[in-house]
Structure 1
Amino acid sequence: MGFEDYMARALYTPGLGYYSRGDRQFGTLAADGSDFVTAPELSPHFGRALAAQVAEALAATGVDEVWEFGAGSGALAADLLNGLHALGTAPRRYTIVDVSGTLRARQQTTLAERAPALAGRVTWADALPAAMQGVVVANELIDALPVALLHWDGAQWLERGVALAPAASPEAAPAFAWADRPTALRPPLPEDHPGFPPGATVELARQATAWVASLGERMQRGAAFLIDYGFPEAEFFHPQRHAGTLMCHRAHRADPDPLDAPGDKDITAHVDFTALALAAQDAGFEVLGYTSQARFLINCGLLDLLPQGADLPALAARAAAARLINEHEMGELFKVIGLVKAPPGPAFDARGFRTGDRSHRL
């Protein structure tokens, strides 16, 4: 089985896959039963800073609906709605698109607790509609889309997949092992790429680019802001990154073995933002900008939102927000790319990219 198919089954098989179960994936500590933390779980000011950019995009494109893909616990939806309401731009409708039906109840609870006056504007969908307008947000969605693996044996590229390992004994439980097969797939390496050492493995994000292409085909008017950890192509396929970026997460610990305990832990790969940008442009989007999460949030006014003072709540709020922008935490590893389909008119000068735009590196 190709790894792309294996990853899809391990994460999304109904009732068995990691994201289709009722487990509490999102949290801040292993003690609460969670496996990893996301920016909205760390600080409500993540969503409230993002609201400044979303409000600007709603006005610039003339739409009145927000779409969130992969809404997790619902924390971002609640904070974003509260932030938009504070700015006087709460959308007519907020649609959550999530393949995990088991998370919907948690999202509803979060919204009822944290944004009770606005929870009635939220609706849910299981897939992309045939046509849509609005502003799309997706935080840590792309990294969880299945990837194909390519393995360089020193002479040719092979597709890496998963097979049953020989049983150690008749009583031993089945186990998985890596297996390679010939393939016509190739990583999109530039002509001057120095090459990889034998044994290198890289990811090919076909489903991520297909998702962006589908979004562009259906988006009639609006914008999209995609936030995730990753690199532009030159860094993603750098020869020093010869082991790839595939990683698993469970109980706030990372491990590199996706063949162990499938369905019990998250499997992710870093995002190739160049591939996303090219797929978006082919689908009719214009790239608004690309920058680090730190620069994006600061541009959107994060620092002005933080409480002042020396009391413990203010100190805790500032410490949590610092994790969003510190280079050694989320600030540099996470990136933001903005896309737009707008009617003819003045250029959309997106606030989040006004300083520190790195589009030239894509």
Structure 2
Amino acid sequence: MKDPATEISRRLEDQIRAEIRARNGVLPFDRFMELALYAPGLGYYVAGAAKFGPGGDFVTAPECSPLFGCCLAVQCAEVLERLGGGEILEFGAGSGALAVQILMELESLGRLPECYRILEPSPDLQDRQVSSIQAAAPHLLARCDWLTALPERFTGVVIANEVLDAMPVHRFRLGMDGEILEIGVSEGDGRLVEVAVPPISPGLVEAVSSLHAAGLADAPGYTSEINLRLAPWLATLSIALERGLALLIDYGYPRAEYYQPERCMGTLRCHHRHRAHSNPYVHLGLQDITAHVDFTAAAEAGIAAGFDPAGFTTQAHFLIGCGIDRLMQTSAPEAALDLALGAKQLLLPTAMGERFKVLGLAKGVDGPWSGFIVRDLSARL
């Protein structure tokens, strides 16, 4: 009997090879990454294997502690109150843990949204999210709605937790004479291989040249990635969001830190069974592929799309501003130890506290917002 995982990986590789041949032997890396993560029925996020938590490939903040979702709920409640109501839209809700945490805390605050929408293209993950909410808060399931595309118009809060890092990125390298090369995927010796070729993707030369104009990423051999899909994504989101606050939560840096000389091999990472490595061409469809977020690019794209900057800070400062200390003090005594351990993972600089950042983008609603009042680092963007 064939191993299902091995069969998925084989079929996905066949599809990638077919696209390489259809594109004269070189597939831009962003398209390879898109297929590896999202190819229908085969990509990592749609093929059905466990991804989140101890039994998956990585752990996200909601799996670390319910305090994460409770703090986000506090920020959501503030926005919904200022708007006089509205909805919540969560991108890629993973296991459904964050939705459960937010909904239950909002219920306790008397500030439930009119609807909790989850934009999730994976039928398998949709089923898992329904099961999570059904098990923890069955009376709130009717308030939830699953989408595969953005609604035409809505008002409320947008939550994108560890979404931007999974957007397909372009990769580039500077040649020995400083020329801009694009990293693509080709075939060689019976396997997928990485190649550096003259740029074939529209917009890549201009984007890398803008880095050079700022004195960044300009040394021969410098290799990194750039997200050319971010601006169109935020432009589309801005059209849909009439009024509200978007919270983008992810690991990343302001641009000047992202493209430091010592980060000369980029930030691309793969995650498989809780092991991080740098080879995206193995475990096809069975491993996550991510890149850190350039939060300066996200802020600039958001402003260009019609958003107002609402704040930028570390995850630790955001959670402190949303009252994580108070939430711990009001928890049941028997849960105190587990919550303390989870809080350390969320807050400590050596864990998630400094590595993860939160960017707020507002439209038609004014702050200040609790999550950004402790320490707003927008001046670093």
Partner of 2:13: none
Shift of 1:209: 2.5
Partner of 2:180: 157
- Normalised to the residue count of structure 2, the TM-score between the two structures is 0.88
Instruction: Give the 3 Å change call, closer, same or farther, for CA 131–357 of structure 1 in structure 2.
Output: same
Pairing 1:26–2:63 present: no
Q: Where does the alignment leave 5 or more consecutive residues of structure 2 unmatched?
A: 1-26
Partner of 1:13: 39
On the 8 A contact 1:63/1:135 being kept in 2, the answer is no
Residue-by-residue CA offset, 1:54-101 (whole Å, 9 max, x unaligned)? 111112233421000010000000000011111110011000001212
Shift of 1:311: 6.7
Equivalent residue of 2:256, what SS? helix
Pairing 1:178–2:199 present: no
Matches within 5 A, 1:1-362: 1-27=27-53, 29=54, 32=55, 34-154=56-176, 155-167=178-190, 175-183=191-199, 185=205, 186-187=207-208, 188-189=210-211, 191-193=213-215, 195-307=217-329, 313-342=335-364, 347-362=366-381
Equivalent residue of 1:214, what SS? helix
Query: For residues 331 and 249 of structure 2, what CA distance do their matches in structure 1 show?
Result: 30
Residue-by-residue CA offset, 1:150-171 (whole Å, 9 max, x unaligned)? 111132111100001123xxxx
On the 8 A contact 2:170/2:227 being kept in 1, the answer is yes
Instruction: Give the 3 Å change call, closer, same or farther, for CA 308–283 of structure 1 in structure 2.
Output: closer
Query: For residues 131 and 219 of structure 1, what CA distance do their matches in structure 2 show?
Result: 6
Partner of 2:22: none
On the 8 A contact 1:289/1:353 being kept in 2, the answer is yes
114-123 or 57-66, which deviates more: 57-66
Instruction: Give the 3 Å change call, closer, same or farther, for CA 13–58 of structure 1 in structure 2.
Output: same
Aligned pair count reads 348
Query: For residues 37 and 349 of structure 1, what CA distance do their matches in structure 2 show?
Result: 31
Residue-by-residue CA offset, 1:292-316 (whole Å, 9 max, x unaligned)? 0000000000111115899764212
Query: For residues 170 and 252 of structure 2, what CA distance do their matches in structure 1 show?
Result: 16
On the 8 A contact 1:209/1:276 being kept in 2, the answer is yes
On the 8 A contact 2:320/2:374 being kept in 1, the answer is no
- Root-mean-square deviation over aligned CA pairs: 1.7
Shift of 1:194: 5.8
Partner of 1:171: none
- Normalised to the residue count of structure 1, the TM-score between the two structures is 0.92
Instruction: Give the 3 Å change call, closer, same or farther, for CA 311–350 of structure 1 in structure 2.
Output: closer
Please state which structure has a larger fraction of its residues in helix: 2
Query: For residues 38 and 45 of structure 1, what CA distance do their matches in structure 2 show?
Result: 13
Partner of 1:172: none
Q: Where does the alignment leave 5 or more consecutive residues of structure 1 unmatched?
A: 168-174
